[in-house]
Every structure is written in C-alpha cells, then in structure tokens.
Structure 1
Amino acid sequence: MRYSHKLSDAVHILAYVEIYHDDDLSSMAIAQSVESNPGLVRRLMAALRAAGLLATQRGTAAPEITRDPADISLLDIYRAVETNDHLLHIDDKTNPQCIVGGNIQETLREAYATVQTAAETQMATITLASLIADIRQREQQRTQS
C-alpha cells in the first residue's frame, strides 16, 4: 500500500515559508528541506495557492502565506492538497457470495465515515501556528542539547 505524503509535505512547505520568510524561498531550497524535487514542491504550492493559503508570483521566489498561521487549520491544508479526501479506503473486490465479502464494504463505510468525521474534527483544531511553534520549540531543545 502506498501512503500519501502530500499533507506532511504541504505543512512542511508552509512552515518553511513562515520560518524562512527572509531567506531563499525558491522551490529548489524548499525541496532540499523536504528532501524531494522542486517539481513536487511547485505542484503542492500550486494546490496551496488554489486553496487561497499561499500567494506566489511567477518568476519570483517569494511565496507568502495569505492568512495568519493561527487561522489556517490542518484540515484546511489537508483539503487543499489531498485529491482523495478519505483517510481510509475499502477494498471493493470482495466475494459477494461470502457472508463477510458480501457485507464488509457497507459495514466498513459506516465505520470509516465515523473515523473520517472524528479525524476532520480534530484536524480543524490544529493550526499551522501551533505546528510552527512546536517546530521552533523542538529546534530550540535540539540545539541546547
């Protein structure tokens, strides 16, 4: 199973733009921090721009967060970059002649909907500002050790 890193990479990009706002904000510099390629960074930045979370100008390396980080939730970022908005996925290829195979999809749809709602509710309470504050605190602890 392949996991999406879009959300964590998008948070990384936004935190980088906020923390390094006076430094090199090129997709190359950000990609080095993410340990990815500049093309991926540009695609995620385009999605963040389309969602109104990031402002960029073609030909310049000066992206800006469009709102106060305290007003951007993890859910906002998730919805900006994840094209499949479901955290959990059901295997639709089961044997309908089997008691389990014939009923598992609907059973899991209900359970997964409950999990999805709970996750989104929690994600709405986590702000970009709180994540950035945690990054700064961890860096301070790391450098003092």
Structure 2
Amino acid sequence: MAVVSRYTIALHSLSWIAMMTKEKDEFVTSDRIAASVNTSPVFIRRILGQLRKARLVIVQHGGTETGWKLAKDPDTITLLDVYEAIVQKPLFELHHSPPNPRCLIGKGIQPALNGIFSQSEDAMKQRLAQVTISALLQETLTQTSV
C-alpha cells in the first residue's frame, strides 16, 4: 500500500480514537478502528505501532481495557506529527538510476528538480503543521452533516 494511503489511514484512525475517547476516556480496540476504516485489524495495528513509536498513541494489552488511545490531547497532535511518524521517505524521489550525463536534460534534470521538490515538500509540511487532529475531526463531522 502506498505511503500516502497509510498516512490517510493513520489520520482516520486517530480521528476515530479522538471521537470515541472524547466522552469516555477508555482504550479502543484495533477491531473497532478497523471497522471504521474498513480494513484488517492487523493492518491497523501496524500503523498504530508506528504512531506509538512517535509517542502519539499508547497501547494496553490484556485485561478488560485492551486497546489504544491517544497519548496526547488531540488539540496538540498536528497532521505533520502524524506525517513524520508514518512517512519515512521524501514525498518526491529522483530517478532510481542516474540519467545520462551526456544528455542536456539528463545532466540538469535532477539539480533542477531538487529545489522544486524540496520547496514543495516544505510548503506541504508547513500546512500540515497548522492542522490538528481535533480540527480534522471537527471538519470530518461537519462534512457528515452536510
């Protein structure tokens, strides 16, 4: 599955956890999260494992309270925090093998793209840093009432 899809699923999962734990501070199971995302609980646990490493969620095993919950207030978790936890590679990549250095385009395309790609990713990250999980949840719930 594409990195960007995993990111979207991570945002979905965190928004769902934030909604479910807003009224009742309890752990929620990966089965319940997976039902909302419409995917397998194993896949959800893999994504939540990455979010746990980034200290965005906590997990509890065994007993009556098994599952996941946010490690921080959803007002303090930004979409950039989630992006950095899930996406391990740059958004844009250059050629997998070097282009022909004797070709005018081959010689200059990578240096030309480096700046464009870097600036584009920086702009995206700045925007993601402005949005929290709480704001995403609020916008999501607004969309469902339209």
What TM bracket, shorter-length normalisation?
0.7 to 0.9
- Counterpart of 1:7 in structure 2 is 7
| Cα distance in 2 between the residues matched to 1:61 and 1:136 | 26
| Cα distance in 1 between the residues matched to 2:41 and 2:118 | 35
- The number of aligned residues is 139
| Cα distance in 2 between the residues matched to 1:61 and 1:44 | 17
Of 97, 102, 112, which aligns to 1:107?
A: 112
Of 46, 50, 56, which aligns to 2:49?
A: 46
Of 90, 95, 101, which aligns to 2:94?
A: 90
Against the structure 1 CA distance between its residues 3 and 76, is the aligned structure 2 distance closer, same or farther, given a 3 Å change threshold? closer
Cα RMSD of the aligned pairs, angstroms, is 1.8
Please state how far the C-alpha of 1:20 moved relative to its aligned partner.
Answer: 2.0
Amino acid at match of 2:68: P
| Cα distance in 2 between the residues matched to 1:133 and 1:101 | 47
Give the gaps of 5 or more residues in structure 1.
none
Identity over aligned pairs, percent: 27
Give the secondary structure class of the aligned counterpart of 1:4.
helix
CA contact (8 A) 1:27 1:61 kept: no
Given the alignment of the two structures, is residue 18 of structure 1 paired with residue 18 of structure 2, yes or no?
yes
| Cα distance in 1 between the residues matched to 2:96 and 2:51 | 31
Amino acid at match of 2:37: V
Against the structure 1 CA distance between its residues 79 and 3, is the aligned structure 2 distance closer, same or farther, given a 3 Å change threshold? closer
Give the gaps of 5 or more residues in structure 2.
none
**So what's the TM-score if we normalise by structure 1?**
0.86
Given the alignment of the two structures, is residue 77 of structure 1 paired with residue 78 of structure 2, yes or no?
no
| Cα distance in 2 between the residues matched to 1:38 and 1:76 | 23
CA contact (8 A) 2:80 2:129 kept: yes
Give the secondary structure class of the aligned counterpart of 2:4.
coil
Is the deviation greater in 52-61 or in 131-140?
Answer: 52-61
4+ runs deviating over 6 angstroms = none
| Cα distance in 1 between the residues matched to 2:145 and 2:18 | 17
| Cα distance in 1 between the residues matched to 2:3 and 2:45 | 20
